[in-house]
Structure 1
Amino acid sequence: MSGLMRRAMRWGALPGRMTVGIAGMLVLLACQTSPEMLSAPVTGYNHTSATINSFTINGSGGPNLGPNLAGGGEVCCAVLPRDWRPGLKATVMWEKDPHPGESVNWPPLGTDAYREAYRKHATKYTQHRAVVDIPQYGEKVCALQVHFLPCDQVRVSTTCYTPSNPNYPDREYFQMKDSAACPIL
């Protein structure tokens, strides 16, 4: 911890501008890597009717993703080896709400009845883990894109293209539909 942060903790609350400045420096430092590693923002795409409450890729967090969402927000940062090598893998872990529409008619937010309804609903959340290949990349990785597909399948991409670009390599994911019956793996 820096001397400035130790002094700030000893002094108590920091003035607003100083707090914002320190927070900004910490965010920038969080994405710094060693010379052998590089950092890349994480973007998620949910191609299912479930909500992805949270996910991580190799321990780096990703944004919450609503159902049937074309794309989620970007967060910083995943860390990858600077030089890609065959067999490079990523571990993706996620929590899924398979019934996101059930909360439509809940009691008012903040009430005991709401908290009880949420507690009951949260028991239906499921936890998942997949180890997936990281496709070959060059000297630059624009984003580590995580695609949540039907039947709890996951794919990772390192392309610099966005889904609206005709050269985007994962366009077929946006055509996938949830299946009533998933194959047992």
Structure 2
Amino acid sequence: MNVMPRPTDGRYRLALLGALVGALLAQSALASTLEAINHTHWAINRFSVDGRSGIDIIGPYQGGGGGCCYVAPSRWQPGMTVRVDWERGVGGTEDYPGTGDWPKFLAWEKTIKAQKRQHSKVVPVPDYTGQKVCGLTVHFLPCDELQVTTSCYAYGSPEYPIKTPLHLPEPQSCPK
């Protein structure tokens, strides 16, 4: 006679553990770094993808990042997105007055802080079916637009999917 295992039975726990491991393996994910390419005259003071920090400050027209980790599901699904949060600000300190003249420094600091902007955007993840996934690279574009890729190729290589030039002019106005 077959008897169903009870929750206190070791066989029940083993069966439950096996089911959990199987479910995790079926949903296995690929983890790698977060990188960024900044195509604007602004500095990217900080950024994160789905709450994970991209670490580096990225100057105007530069690349950086190195944060851990973007976790890509093993299979791409239609409608996949990531949420990118970032702060942009002034990309240089040419007019930095130093701290010898405190009122000038405070005025300069106020100007710098007034130019910082917080942004958040949900962006589609392009189809990576049949491709190796190497983390996520976020491209910061003028008008606070974004593009992302999971490509393993380096930005600028012929195989890299985003062909946007690094130095993009800032438009006179951005669409609302």
The match for 1:65 is 58
2:95 to 100, 105, 113: 105
1:83 to 53, 71, 75: 75
Q: How does 1:113-124 map onto structure 2 within 5 Å?
A: 114=105, 117-124=108-115
Aligned-CA RMSD value: 2.3
Q: Name the CA distance, whole Å, in 2 between partners of 1:89 and 1:109.
A: 44
The match for 2:4 is none
SS of the residue 1:118 aligns to: helix
CA-CA distance at 1:77 after TM superposition: 1.2
Identity value in percent: 36
CA-CA distance at 1:123 after TM superposition: 2.6
State which structure, 1 or 2, has the greater radius of gyration over its C-alpha atoms.
2
* Residues 164 and 172 of structure 1, relative CA distance in 2, 3 Å threshold: closer
Structure 2, unmatched stretches of 5+, are: 1-23
Q: Deviations over 1:116-138 (max 9, x none)?
A: 63244213211111110001124
SS of the residue 2:147 aligns to: strand
SS of the residue 1:172 aligns to: coil
Q: Deviations over 1:59-82 (max 9, x none)?
A: 11112110122x214222112222
Instruction: Answer yes or no: is the 8 Å Cα contact 1:83–1:139 preserved in 2.
Output: no
If the length of structure 2 is used for normalisation, what is the TM-score? 0.74
The structure richer in helix per residue is 1
Structure 1, unmatched stretches of 5+, are: 1-33
Q: How does 1:163-174 map onto structure 2 within 5 Å?
A: 163-174=155-166
Instruction: Answer yes or no: is the 8 Å Cα contact 2:33–2:68 preserved in 1.
Output: yes
The match for 2:12 is none
Does 2:137 correspond to 1:145?
Answer: yes
The match for 1:93 is 85
CA-CA distance at 1:115 after TM superposition: 5.5
1:40 to 23, 26, 32: 32
* Residues 77 and 123 of structure 1, relative CA distance in 2, 3 Å threshold: same
Query: Structure 1 residue runs of 4+, over 6 Å off?
Result: none
2:122 to 124, 127, 131: 131
Count of residue pairs the alignment pairs up = 148
Q: Deviations over 1:79-105 (max 9, x none)?
A: 2222211100000111011x333x322
If the length of structure 1 is used for normalisation, what is the TM-score? 0.70
